[in-house]
Amino acid sequence: MARLESFEKAQARVRSALGGNVRGLRLSLGLSQADLADRAGIRRALISDIERCETNATLDTIVRIARVLRVEAHELLDPESRLKTDE
């Protein structure tokens, strides 16, 4: 039987995927954190926290960000996604 990863590891993995995907897509679209925040209707500090993996983003926030970045919300959470850009 497959062993489930701990909650903490799963949370860190998904937070890392979200932060990296948001940052990579934002940069590929030439958007600043302030631009993304304004278009999504959220605070710039929240974008910063998400990109640094320091917050639990709500579903509403993830959907708002995804719409601006022109992807589906679930794609932002996928650690295996190819949304990140090479920096």
User: 10 Å Cβ neighbour count for 84?
Assistant: 16
Q: Which domains does the chain have, with CATH numbers?
A: 9-77 (1.10.260.40)
Cα torsion at 82, 26, 56, 8 (round to 10°)?
A: 30
User: Look-up: residue for tokens 């960000």?
Assistant: 65
Q: What is the pLDDT along the chain (87 residues), one digit of tens a residue?
A: 567 789 999 999 999 999 999 999 999 999 999 999 999 999 999 999 999 999 999 999 999 999 999 999 999 999 888 665 544
Distance of CA 51 to the CA centre of its chain: 6
Q: Are 26 and 33 in contact (CB under 8 A)?
A: yes
| pTM reported for the whole predicted model | 0.88
Q: Are 2 and 66 in contact (CB under 8 A)?
A: no
